[in-house]
């Protein structure tokens, strides 16, 4: 089936309009509240980070890396828990949108939590795949750079050009691969595929022949999101800065609230969009999507 971005967007809006109250409740539970908690518990860390980095000589790269590494070591567990909560929330919203049995919020949350092991397995497979691909590309690129350097009489410019082209090719490969795997989450939730590898293979099969259309569709949405979110965040944080001192605890807490609100709304829209994309690619046999549109 050929992908139609306009139809997917219209379906996503219909999904949101029909379920916006319940979706916003789930977004509040899994996105806004965890974001608010993180802002509350991590604000002191952020303040200390700004202070520590401000006292480091910018030319001392080792000290700068040590400070940043220490920060990530401290906030890593919080970030991991926040990510898991957001993934579970996304799946709960997806279940709410696409289950013809019309589950309650509690039932949708249970569905989201029950799918977490599969999603974590998918994430591990993706990380392993990325590392193996990076290693393979690195080895091939290194050999090509050496050959090009020898052929070019040891010219560093030739070697740099080969490296640049190779890195560009690797990034293009990653972007295409992620596009092909973009409906893995709805495959897990809507089609109830339990095996991580099976879910990835199903997404790869569903997106076959539509990579360019999907990539263009996602790119337009990402650019629109980046522009709108950046402008909205800048305006709101500027208003916050009028009443609080920038870099203070109150400033970071207010910024965390703003980020949580924006993230919650975006998560709802993104879930509706990816559910609609999957519904279109999976074909008219997906009664759950059609039922939601009634």
| Residue 288 pLDDT greater than 50, yes or no | no
Convert the pLDDT of each residue in 217-267 to its tens digit: 999 999 998 888 888 878 877 777 776 666 566 776 777 777 778 888 888
Per-domain residue ranges for the chain?
5-292
pTM of this structure: 0.80
Coil, helix or strand at residue 1: coil
Residues 6 or more apart in contact with residue 151 via CB below 8 angstroms: 158
Q: How confident is the model at residue 284 (pLDDT cuts 50, 70, 90)?
A: low
| Residue 278 pLDDT greater than 90, yes or no | yes
Cα separation, 92 vs 104, in Å, equals 10
Cα–Cα distances in Å, from 213 out to 50, 55, 183, 220?
42, 49, 14, 11
Cα separation, 202 vs 193, in Å, equals 9
DSSP label of 158: H
What's the pLDDT score for residue 22? 87
Convert the pLDDT of each residue in 138-162 to its tens digit: 888 888 878 776 766 666 777 787 7
Backbone angles phi, psi at 222, to 5 degrees: -65, -40
Of the two residues 72 and 278, the one the predictor is more confident about is 278
Range 192-199, long-range pairs (CB < 8 A, 24+ positions): 193/118, 194/118, 195/118, 195/121, 196/118, 196/121, 196/122, 196/124, 196/125, 197/125, 199/118, 199/122
What's the whole-number mean pLDDT along residues 5-16? 92
Convert the pLDDT of each residue in 51-66 to its tens digit: 666 666 666 677 667 7
Q: At what angle do helices 156-180 and 116-151 cross, to 10 degrees?
A: 160
């Amino acid at each position: 089936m050929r992908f139609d971005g306009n139809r997917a967007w219209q379906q996503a809006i219909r999904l949101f309009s029909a379920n916006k109250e319940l979706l916003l409740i789930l977004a509040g539970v899994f996105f806004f509240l965890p974001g608010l908690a993180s802002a509350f518990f991590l604000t002191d860390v952020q303040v200390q980070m700004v202070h520590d980095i401000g006292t480091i000589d910018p030319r001392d790269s080792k000290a700068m890396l040590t400070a940043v590494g220490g920060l990530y070591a401290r906030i890593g567990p919080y970030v991991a828990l926040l990510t898991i909560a957001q993934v579970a929330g996304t799946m709960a919203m997806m279940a709410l949108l696409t289950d013809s049995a019309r589950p309650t919020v509690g039932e949708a949350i249970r569905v989201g939590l029950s799918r977490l092991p599969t999603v974590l397995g998918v994430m591990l497979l993706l990380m392993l795949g990325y590392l193996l691909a990076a290693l393979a590309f690195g080895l091939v690129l290194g050999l090509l750079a050496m050959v090009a350097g020898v052929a070019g009489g040891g010219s560093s410019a030739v070697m740099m050009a080969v490296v640049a082209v190779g890195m560009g090719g690797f990034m293009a490969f990653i972007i295409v691969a992620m596009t092909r795997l973009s409906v893995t989450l709805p495959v897990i939730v809507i089609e109830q595929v339990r095996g991580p590898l099976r879910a990835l293979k199903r997404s790869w099969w569903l997106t076959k022949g539509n990579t360019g259309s999907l990539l263009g569709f996602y790119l337009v949405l990402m650019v629109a999101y980046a522009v709108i979110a950046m402008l909205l965040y800048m305006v709101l944080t500027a208003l916050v800065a009028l009443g609080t001192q920038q870099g203070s605890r109150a400033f970071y807490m207010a910024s965390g609230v703003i980020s949580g609100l924006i993230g919650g709304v975006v998560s709802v829209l993104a879930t509706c969009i990816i559910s609609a994309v999957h519904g279109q690619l999976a074909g008219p046999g997906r009664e759950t999507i059609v039922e939601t549109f009634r």
